[in-house]
Amino acid sequence: MDILDRFIKYARIDTQSDENSTQTPSTQKQFNLAREVEKEALEMGLTDVNLDNNCYLMATLPSNTQKEVPVIGFIAHFDTSPDMSGANVNPRIVKAYDGEDILLNEVNNVVLSPSDFPELLHHLGEDLIVTDGNTLLGADDKAGIAEIMDAMQYLVDHPEIEHGTIRIAFTPDEEIGRGADKFDVAKFGAQWAYTMDGSELGELEYENFNAASAKIAIRGRNVHPGYAKGKMINALHVANELVAMLPGRERPEQTEGYEGFFHLIGINGTVDEAMVSFIIRDHDRMKFESRKQLMNDLVERLNGQYENRLSLELKDQYYNMKEKVEPVMFVVDYASRAMESVGIKPNIKPIRGGTDGARLSFMGLPCPNIFAGGMNFHGRYEFLPVPSLRKAAAVIVKIAELVAKESNKQ
């Protein structure tokens, strides 16, 4: 099966996760893709194929060499973002992109334009996979799954390429921060791995944000507004006061590179009660801790003003994998040299987000992130250049080849 056909097949399967669910997987429909990939793994002759009750799928491509080669792994995730529908995805291929606007949906006048998304112009002359303007595409991370499966098939079909034992795994619920929750690192059995979950061609990442969530519950005091003076405490006004106390230039829309932020993701409620939700991000661990402390201090300050009516729930989500990857930087070097060998210039940069690999690195599995090729994830303007899809699969093959080539003979 060609990788393009493989990806489109996966993209049509709805696997959207649900952050409000307490189950694993958060949506049973993720099993629909998991079972399809399980079937393909068995058909291509992979061994130890195991899909567990939590929708974690693992499999093995056995070594074909007498050398003692480290066991390495490749990982991607089944689910797509809750930010936009992943049902009835209808991928379309734009042949030899010419640099003009792409009309995704005539009825709703949805246009993918280089004036809004200049990165389109990096892919002039390439075939692009786009949406019909009603859903996301799902390249995050069905492109990663397709690339891993295509690379495994290629290695099966080309036994002349020497490689060690390769483990692959696909997880549920990465988009809601739970992809590593029930990942069995010991069972996986790799010395290191790579998540195929980055974006544009050439991306290679071993630094990510430290991440926390903050939820502030506010109890107001509602009385008739005509007689409210000195009595009413409007929970919605308190919520807005808290938001205004945070530094205005430390928001996602004002930051880039290594700059951290406070991101307001929700305010809801009434005069009587309200809830404010943030995510807190910073690459630097000390700055990250300072951001959490500031949130705590502001809540305490408002509690002093409003009779202790605010309660803060602050939870760490994941940490910067740099701490765990830097001692084994050769794993990044393998990926960098693999990219160069297939004609890609590596773009090593920090992730302004996180991946399963961040948490897995702290669970004992160093796990840098490699591009999957898609752009504008999580929305109707998502697109995937076909050459990037193919190149990512070639990088996986080349990593396996390099690791075996440079291992000592028995």
Q: Give the SS3 label for residue 94.
A: strand
Distance CA 151, CA 264 (A): 40
Tens of pLDDT, residue by residue, the chain (410 residues): 999 999 999 999 999 999 899 999 999 999 999 999 999 999 999 999 999 999 999 999 999 999 999 999 999 999 999 999 999 999 999 999 999 999 999 999 999 999 999 999 999 999 999 999 999 999 999 999 999 999 999 999 999 999 999 999 999 999 998 999 999 999 999 999 999 999 999 999 999 999 999 999 999 999 999 999 999 999 999 999 999 999 999 999 999 999 999 999 999 999 999 999 999 999 999 999 999 999 999 999 999 999 999 999 999 988 999 999 999 999 999 999 999 999 999 999 998 887 889 999 999 999 999 999 999 998 999 999 999 999 999 999 999 999 999 987 43
356 HSE (CA, 13 A, CB side):
32
Radius of gyration of the chain (CA): 23
> What is the distance between the alpha carbons of residues 31 and 23, in angstroms, rounded to a whole number?
13
Residues linked to residue 315 through DSSP beta bridges, in sequence order: 213
| pLDDT confidence of residue 410 | 36
Beta strand 57-61 with 47-51: parallel, antiparallel or unpaired? antiparallel
The fold of the 3-207+321-405 domain, in CATH, is: Aminopeptidase (3.40.630)
Residue position matching structure tokens 């201090």: 297
Architecture of domain 210-317: 2-Layer Sandwich (3.30)
Sequence-ordered list of residues with C-beta below 8 angstroms from that of 43, at least 6 positions apart, any chain: none
Strand duo 102-105 + 110-112: pairing:
antiparallel
Burial of 136 (0-12, 13-18, 19+ CB in 10 A): buried
Partners of 369 in beta bridges: 195, 205
Residues with catalytic function: 79, 174
Domain ranges of the chain: 3-207+321-405, 210-317
Both tokens assigned to 279: 């995510």
